[in-house]
Amino acid sequence: AGWDPAGAADPSRPNEYLAAVVWLPDSSGILVAVLSRSQQELSMHAFDTLGGHRGCLHRETSQTWVNLNRMFWPCEALSIRSICAGSPEGPPDPTAGFVVGSERSGFSHLYFHHSDGRPSHPITSGRFVVTSLEGVASGGPEPTVYFTATLEDDPTQQRLFSAPLLGDRKGGAGAAAELTPRVGSHSCVLNISRGFFVDIHSSIHEPETATLRCLSTGRPVASLEPLPSPAEADRAKLLRAPELMSIHNRSGTRLRLALFRPDPERHGPGPYPAVVSMYGGPQVQLVQNSWALTASMREQLYRQEGYLVAKIDNRGSSNRGVEFESAIYRNFGSAEIEDQVDGVNWLVRQGLARPGKVLAMGWSFGGYLAARTLMHPESRGLFAAAVAGAPVTSWDGYDTGYTERYMGMPQDNREGYERASLLSLAAGMEGSLLLVHGLLDENVHFRHTARLIGALVAARKRYELLVFPEERHLPRREGDRAYMEEAVLRFVAGALGGGGP
C-alpha cells in the first residue's frame, strides 16, 4: 500500500508500505509504522488526531531485511503531549515511551524507547530470540515486560519470561525471570490487571494442557482442562515422539533435526528408505519441542510404514538469529539445499538412511525446495524422488512483498532470480517427481506448476501430476485429503520401495 500522510514519507520514495497503525493509550494520536519498498528500513511516526505529523520516534535498518515482528507496545504514559518537546509538566515520566522489538544485536530483542528522545536501552539481551511480546505493566512501582523467548542453548523450546521495563542501573538489560520452567513450548495469554495468565504447554512427550498461573511467580493456580480419558491416553501412546538432534553442516553451523524412526522390531535396525519432510523458508521453524511435532500424522504414518522421516531446519529458517536466517538473502535455493543434503549425508553416515532411497517432500516453499532437490548436483545418488506440493517455480511470478523482502527487486538481482528459478534448472532434473496443486490456489497460483511442466516437457523429463479442481493452497476437504495422502503414499512406495529392510 502506497502512502504519504502529511509529508511523513520521503517524496523520493513513494512506494512504501503502511505496515501498522496503533492508537496511543489516551487516544490523543496514533503511531504509524512505514516500511520502505526495499524492506530494509522501518520507521515509526507519531500523528495527532488532526493528522499533524509529530515526528519519527523510531527507525530500524538492516543490510538484508527488517522482519515485521509485531512487537510494539506503547506504555500508558505515552501521549502526544509527552512526545512533543517542551511540555511544561516537570520531570519526565520515566515510563513515557514504548517497547519495540529489534534485531540490531543480531538476535530479536526488546528495547525501551523514551518519547522525549533520550537514548533507548535494552530490556533483553543474549544469544536467544524473543518471539513474542506478551504484555507490559508500565504502572506501579516495578514496571514489567512479559515476553516469550527461546533458550540460549535450545531454540526448539519457547517459554514465558518477565523483565524490568527500565532495565538495570547501568542502562543495560535487567535480569529476566522465567515463569514457565517446564520443558517444551508455552503459549500464554495474560491478564495483567488480575495478575494471572493461562499457560498452554506441550512437549514432544506431552499433549497440550492449559493451566492458570500466577503472573508474579508462575506458580499453578488451577488446571483448566480435564484429564484425558483412558481411550485418549491410549491413542496418544500410539504416537512415538521424534528424537530432537543437533548436527553440523559443512561449514560448522549447527542445524536442528527431528527424527522419526521406524519400529526396529518390525522393520529391522536400518538403514531405511527415508523421507525428508521440508519447508526451509523464512519465518518458519519446523523442529520445535511441542506436541504438534509428535502429532504430525503424515510423518507418523510413514514411520509406521517403515520409512525413516527427518525434518531439518536449514539456514534461512526462523528463531536462530539474523546471521542464520539471512544466509538465503538474494539467493533462494542454495544454502537451504546444501543443509538438507548435509543432513541426509549425516543420516547415511550414521547407518540410518539408504543413499539413493531418499525422497524430499514439501509444500509451498517446501514444495519449491523438494523439486529443486532433484535439480541439485549434490543430490544425485542421494535423493531418488520428490513430492512438490503447490511449489513456487519462478520467483518473478510470486507475491511482490514476500519475494522482494528476501530476493530484492528483480531488476536489481536478475542473476539471483535466474539461479533460484526451477525453470532454468529443469533440464538437469534426475529422479521421479510428483507435482500436487489445487487449481483454486490464490497463494501460489497454478501457473507456477504449469510453467514447470512446460520446462520439463521441453527437456523431455518425466513427471506425475495430481490436481484438485476445487482446492486452494492446501487440500482441506476430507475426501480430497484422503485421496491425496493415498496417492502420495503410493508414489513414495513406488519410488523408494517398501519401508522394510
Residue 5 pLDDT exceeds 50: no
For residues 242 and 260, the answer to whether their CB atoms sit within 8 Å is yes
**What confidence tier does 499 reach under pLDDT thresholds 50, 70, 90?**
low
For residues 59 and 45, the answer to whether their CB atoms sit within 8 Å is no
Q: For the segment 118-153, what is each residue's pLDDT rounded down to a tens digit?
A: 778 999 999 999 999 999 998 888 999 999 999 999
271 cis-preceded (ω within 30 degrees of 0): yes
- Beta-carbon contacts of 234 under 8 Å, excluding residues fewer than 6 positions away, are none
Q: Which residue has the higher pLDDT, 309 or 172?
A: 309
pTM assigned to the model: 0.92
Backbone angle region of 317, left / alpha / beta, with phi > 0 → left and psi within -120 to 50 → alpha? beta
pLDDT value at position 86?
Answer: 46
CB atoms within 10 A of CB 61: 11
Q: What distance in Å separates the CA atoms of residue 372 and residue 328, rounded to the nearest whole number?
A: 15
Average pLDDT, integer, range 221-250: 87
**Percent of the residues in the chain that have a pLDDT greater than 90, as a whole number:** 81
Cell of 472: 486452494
Averaged confidence pLDDT in the chain: 92
- Among 37, 38, 85, 76, smallest CA distance to 57 is for 85
Average pLDDT, integer, range 148-169: 94
Please list the helix, strand and coil fractions of the chain in percent, rounded to the nearest 5, in that order: 25, 35, 45
pLDDT value at position 11?
Answer: 55
Residue 105 pLDDT exceeds 50: yes
Q: What distance in Å separates the CA atoms of residue 356 and residue 464, rounded to the nearest whole number?
A: 20
Q: Which residue has the higher pLDDT, 226 or 448?
A: 448
Residue 374 pLDDT exceeds 60: yes
**What confidence tier does 3 reach under pLDDT thresholds 50, 70, 90?**
very low
Average pLDDT, integer, range 101-109: 96
Residue 223 pLDDT exceeds 60: yes
Q: Which residue has the higher pLDDT, 11 or 105?
A: 105
- Among 42, 57, 176, smallest CA distance to 114 is for 57
For residues 76 and 95, the answer to whether their CB atoms sit within 8 Å is yes
The angle subtended at Cα 453 by Cα 448 and Cα 456, nearest 5°, is 130
pLDDT value at position 187?
Answer: 97
pLDDT value at position 49?
Answer: 85
Q: Which of 19-28, 82-91, 107-116 is the least confident region?
A: 82-91
Q: What distance in Å separates the CA atoms of residue 267 and residue 405, rounded to the nearest whole number?
A: 45
**What confidence tier does 4 reach under pLDDT thresholds 50, 70, 90?**
very low
All structural domains of the chain: 236-496 (3.40.50.1820)
Q: What distance in Å separates the CA atoms of residue 419 and residue 250, rounded to the nearest whole number?
A: 21
Question: Which amino acid is present at 145?
Answer: V
CB atoms within 10 A of CB 85: 10
Residue 328 pLDDT exceeds 90: yes
How far CA 32 is from CA of 3, 40, 97, 129, 259, in Å, comes to 11, 17, 15, 25, 44
Q: What distance in Å separates the CA atoms of residue 393 and residue 310, rounded to the nearest whole number?
A: 24
For residues 111 and 121, the answer to whether their CB atoms sit within 8 Å is yes
